[in-house]
Amino acid sequence: MKNIQLALLGVLLALNARSQYVDDFEGYVLGSYLAVSSPYWSTWNNSPGSAEDVLITGSDAHSGNQSIYFSSTAPTGGPQDVILPFGGPHVSGNFLFEMWVKVESNKGAYFNFQSDVAVGQTWALECFFTNTGAMEVISDATTVISGAYPANTWFKVTWDIDLSLNNWQMLIDGIPMGSFSNTNNRIASMDIFPVNNRPGANNISGYYVDDVAYTHTPTTLPNLNAATVTVKHGMKLVGQVVHPVVTIRNLGMTTITSFKIDVTYNGATVTENVSGVSIPSLAVHDVNLAQTLTAASGNKDITATVSQVNGGGADGNPSDDSKTISINPIVPAPGKMVLAEEATGTWCGWCPRGTVAMANMQEAYPQFWAGVAVHNADPMVNTDYDGAFGATGFPNAKVDRSNFIDPSGIENAFLTRIQQAPKATLVNSATYDAGNRKLKVHLDVTFQGAASGDWRVALVLTEHGVTGSGSNWGQANYYSYQSQNMPLVGAGKNWQQELNPVPGGQMVYDHVARLITPSFGGMTGAFPSSISANDKFGFDFEVALDASWEKDEIEIITMLIAPGGQIDNAAKMSAAYAYPVGVEGVEPSLFTLHPNPASDVIILTLSESSQPEITITDMLGRITYVVKPTFEDGQVTIPVGELASGMYLVHVRNGNSVSAVPVVVGR
């Protein structure tokens, strides 16, 4: 487990250059050290016979009389730490691994696969068995498989890995536990290290291992063959609009220069023709499709297919042309928007982690999420916001003002909160006077059910695209030149390849908190003590934009704060879509609409016999539909079947009056 290379591993690999290996531990002297007795096993620091080595035991065994036993009570694990090289790294073909494990009652177990010959460089995966009976597989800092295992009894762990197609499948006692595509699709060795430190575990490990075996079957490559290895869709939430990413691998001997990709999902197919590439044998190539797909509710398949390789040459293995996976995205609660506030600072060397997390959220969930970067002790600080937020560690974050978490946990917290129905829906509208730079924001709050207590509202303005020069504008970057097991890529940068600090002239800061009003805690006395379902309340905020702020980069965020301080709901829009001064304001009486929710069409019933302008915007204020209908019997029918699922605002403008009504579009 330690981040140190294994010396002299080449000697072991030469001895272990075989396609299969089996060890039942019966041929060793009872009580001897494994790495001393075996030419194939070693330890993390290549120290046979040291505290890292493991003893042959006769206390328990799956077959025969002998096995190996690992134990620790240290939160950090160890010191036992043994390595079994696989004669790799293997990057293609099939790799089959099996071993029998017995985890003692109220204890845990652990092992990992290393991707590189030199251990400590890249973990292909980590497998935890905790004292609670839970099993968890982690790859690239993400849980990819989870489930349960039988405690205090022998069970067989199997990994059936198709390295050519990047499909890693785990089985326990022959029962599939799950599979995934591995970011580090190569395997070189196994590391067994006693540790039991997952959240909720007791730090006590104790387990036997027996009958370890692996087989590597090389692949035979045809002349020309493109295989679809993975399709990354990013569809975690119904209504998300995504650009699929398809990974193609050359599993032939001829270099691939062109091909076609089709991705089919929910009755729609998007296509990308790729040319001018050079993909050598066994290399991979990612295709970022320009067209989009929209996540739909229900369990549905997405299929990616490669064809017309090198202009349509004969494919040596058509069976690997397609990859199909099932998607069942989360259904967001209607009208819900989640707020994340991040504590950051240009002086904070680990804060690029928060920058990346916020950028990823903005890209993946723009219609369901609002983000605020609360700066500390740098040129972008808002002292009122920073002081009230109260972060003592950086980076740090709160989602809907729950507990502080690491920014890497924002997405998981968001996916939990977005499913929780809000007590009220929020709708923003705004006007802007360019003459005096005054922004007027109107907020409508409509309660979905009865409520009581001290409910409050607040307005936040953030700014995107903020730049500056000077030393205080440079971003400290502790990821600079870090080892491979600390990757950080996002927000337009590979942070390992950036300087420390990143010069201010190369930084662009988004989500920067510019003001919060009337206070961090919100407007006192905003609502009566007793609220009924369908009660609607309106609030007006007026702020003057600082001369240094770019109006069209300002984001308007309103929030409803529940008694106790947690945020119940939020809404946001860009100030770029604020009505120009002269519009009288938002009125509720110009029209009604039905059905709501809608799937194919909405019907507007207008209250005035004129020719109003009808606009549909998303909740960010972006215009999606504009029409000037002729007044016919007071009704207008508008198709919405092409809109992505989610909440929209229907605006009707008649002269200087505007009405806005929210509508939910769903399938």
| pLDDT at 69 exceeding the cut of 60 | yes
d(CA 539, CA 443): 5
Reported confidence tier of residue 580, pLDDT bands at 50, 70, 90: confident
- The answer to whether the beta carbons of residues 314 and 225 sit under 8 Å apart is no
d(CA 460, CA 339): 11
Measured in whole angstroms, the distance separating CA 385 from the mean position of its chain's CA atoms is 27
Cβ count within 10 A of residue 588: 12
The H or E element spanning position 387 is helix 383-389
d(CA 123, CA 134): 21
Task: Name the E strands within 436-587.
Answer: 438-447, 451-452, 456-463, 489-490, 493-494, 512-517, 530-531, 536-544, 554-561, 567-574, 579-580, 585-586
d(CA 375, CA 562): 25
Mean pLDDT of 294-317: 92
d(CA 13, CA 79): 24
pLDDT of residue 656: 66
d(CA 568, CA 339): 9
Mean pLDDT of 174-195: 96
d(CA 327, CA 139): 20
d(CA 156, CA 101): 6
| pLDDT at 9 exceeding the cut of 50 | no
Reported confidence tier of residue 666, pLDDT bands at 50, 70, 90: confident
d(CA 98, CA 86): 13
d(CA 584, CA 20): 79
d(CA 98, CA 78): 23
Interaxial angle between packed helices 352-364 and 410-417, expressed in degrees from 0 to 180 and rounded to the nearest 10: 40
3-state DSSP helix/strand/coil % of the chain, to nearest 5: 10, 45, 45
| pLDDT at 2 exceeding the cut of 60 | no
Reported confidence tier of residue 61, pLDDT bands at 50, 70, 90: very high
Would you mind telling me the total number of residues written for the chain in this entry?
A: 667
Q: Which 3-state string (H, E, C) describes 402-456?
A: CCCECHHHHHHHHHHHCCCCCCEEEEEEEEEECCCCEEEEEEEEEECCCEECCCE
| pLDDT at 486 exceeding the cut of 90 | no
Question: What does R_g of the chain's alpha carbons equal in angstroms?
Answer: 29
Read off φ and ψ for residue 476, nearest 5 degrees.
Answer: -60, 140
How far CA 97 is from CA of 169, 181, 213, in Å, comes to 11, 17, 6
pLDDT of residue 609: 59
Mean pLDDT of 333-362: 96
38: which DSSP letter? -
Please write the tens of the pLDDT for every residue from 406-443: 998 999 999 999 999 999 999 888 889 999 999 999 99
| pLDDT at 59 exceeding the cut of 50 | yes
How far CA 165 is from CA of 162, 256, 347, 514, in Å, comes to 6, 17, 43, 48
Cβ count within 10 A of residue 4: 12
Average pLDDT, the chain: 90
d(CA 167, CA 181): 5
- The answer to whether the beta carbons of residues 352 and 486 sit under 8 Å apart is no
| pLDDT at 503 exceeding the cut of 90 | yes
Instruction: Report the sign of the C-alpha dihedral through residues 84, 86, 88, 91, in that order.
Output: negative
pLDDT of residue 651: 81
Cis status, amide bond into 528, omega within 30 of 0 = no
Measured in whole angstroms, the distance separating CA 403 from the mean position of its chain's CA atoms is 20
> Nearest 5 degrees, angle CA 516-CA 518-CA 520?
55
| pLDDT at 194 exceeding the cut of 60 | yes
Cis status, amide bond into 395, omega within 30 of 0 = yes
Q: Report the percentage of the chain scoring pLDDT > 90.
A: 75
Give one word for 330, left, alpha or beta, with left for phi > 0 and alpha for psi -120 to 50: beta
Q: Which residues contact 392 (CB under 8 A, 6 or more apart)?
A: none
The residues pairing with 652 across neighbouring beta strands, listed in sequence order, are 614, 659
Long-range contacts of 392-397 (CB under 8 A, 24+ apart): 393/343, 394/343, 394/344, 394/345, 394/348, 394/350, 394/351, 395/342, 395/343, 395/344, 395/348, 395/350, 395/351, 395/353, 395/354, 396/342, 396/343, 396/354, 397/340, 397/341, 397/342, 397/343, 397/354, 397/357
Measured in whole angstroms, the distance separating CA 638 from the mean position of its chain's CA atoms is 35
- The DSSP secondary structure of 160-201, one letter per residue, reads EEETTTTEEEEEETTEEEEEE--SS--EEEEEE-----STT-
Instruction: Report the sign of the C-alpha dihedral through residues 323, 181, 416, 130, in that order.
Output: positive
d(CA 338, CA 560): 11
Where does residue 160 rank: exposed (0-12), middle (13-18), buried (19+ CB within 10 A)? middle
Cβ count within 10 A of residue 232: 16
| pLDDT at 296 exceeding the cut of 60 | yes
pLDDT of residue 635: 81
The residues pairing with 480 across neighbouring beta strands, listed in sequence order, are none
pLDDT of residue 581: 63
| pLDDT at 625 exceeding the cut of 80 | no
pLDDT of residue 117: 95
Q: Which 3-state string (H, E, C) describes 78-120?
A: CCCCEEEEEEEEECCCEEEEEEEEEECCCCEEEEEEECCCCCC
pLDDT of residue 612: 75
| pLDDT at 542 exceeding the cut of 80 | yes
Please write the tens of the pLDDT for every residue from 275-287: 999 999 999 999 9
Alpha helix stretches (DSSP H) within 239-351: none
Q: Which residues contact 150 (CB under 8 A, 6 or more apart)?
A: 172, 173
pLDDT of residue 140: 85
- The answer to whether the beta carbons of residues 646 and 619 sit under 8 Å apart is yes
- The answer to whether the beta carbons of residues 224 and 257 sit under 8 Å apart is no
Q: Which domains does the chain have, with CATH numbers?
A: 9-217 (2.60.120.200), 226-327 (2.60.40.10), 338-577 (2.60.40.10), 584-665 (2.60.40.3080)
d(CA 142, CA 279): 29
Nearest to residue 264, comparing CAs of 276, 246, 277? 246
Mean pLDDT of 49-62: 98
